[in-house]
Amino acid sequence: MTSDLECIFCKIIEKKIPAAVIYEDPYVISFLDINPRFKGHALVIPKVHVSTLDELGDEALAHLFVVVKHVAKNLKETLGADGYNIISNNGSVAGQVVPHLHIHVVPRYADEKKGIGFEATFPVDEEAKNKLHEIAEKAKIKHEIKPAFRKDDKADTSEKEEKKDGKEENKEALPYESEYFEDNGVPKFR
Ligand code: 5GP
Ligand code: ZN
């Protein structure tokens, strides 16, 4: 796994500094934030050192968010959280302090005094509000986005061919076993 010697989160991954770990697998680790904003405030990070979300491969990112879901669900079940905020600051301009991609899972409790939501942090930008369609036109994604999971055998073959060609294997790629299929029109995985 790629790591950065100076990075505090890489040091946590390598067990050079301690952390209150709540989940770990070969690709992802989740531990409690040293300065919890609410009880159980967790961070979920990839084990590969990338600074921001857009730098991570699709499969690794898909897995990261699957873990985020499990962490959130677990915080509800174990600590009695009534809801949660999923936050990720990307880039110093967005308030990112630790330059290793991390997703904050912030449990929220019904009886808490601070009912802080999106509005408190990001008040509405009226100018942007008046130009929604103009901005959407500029921001539109014009390329196809392929699912991070395998849909059929064809996807499998192309992957194997790439490896045969001697191209470097994508170290972020995960050995996804699940295959997508539709059961009476309902998307499922096996
Ligand atoms: P950011 O502002 O970059 O999105 O958030 C970084 C978070 O990492 C902060 O909430 C901060 O409390 C947390 N943090 C910084 N250093 C450490 C550390 O050494 N251990 C743990 N567990 N959390 C840390
Ligand atoms: Zn790192």
Q: How far apart are CA 41 and CA 98, in angstroms?
A: 16
Percent of the chain with pLDDT over 90: 65
Distance from Cα 148 to the centre of ligand 1, integer Å:
29
Q: Mean pLDDT, the chain, as a whole number?
A: 85
Active-site position among 100, 102, 133, 143? 102
pLDDT of residue 159: 46
Q: Which residue has the tokens 């300065």?
A: 35
| Pocket perturbation via mutation, ligand 1, pick of 33, 50, 52 by most ligand atoms within 8 A of CB | 33
Closest-lying ligand 1 atom to the alpha carbon of residue 19: 22
Confidence (pTM)? 0.82
Q: What are the structural domains of the chain? A: 8-123 (3.30.428.10), 153-189 (no CATH)
pLDDT beyond 70 at 55: yes
Distance from Cα 99 to the centre of ligand 2, integer Å:
7
| Torsion on CA atoms 106, 107, 108, 110, rounded to nearest 10 | 180
Average pLDDT over residues 157-161: 46
State the Cα angle at 11 between 7 and 17, rounded to 5°.
Answer: 130
CB-based contact 51:41 (threshold 8 Å): no
Average pLDDT over residues 81-88: 96
Closest-lying ligand 1 atom to the alpha carbon of residue 96: 3
Q: How far apart are CA 169 and CA 42, in angstroms?
A: 31
Q: Which residue has the tokens 């995960």?
A: 174
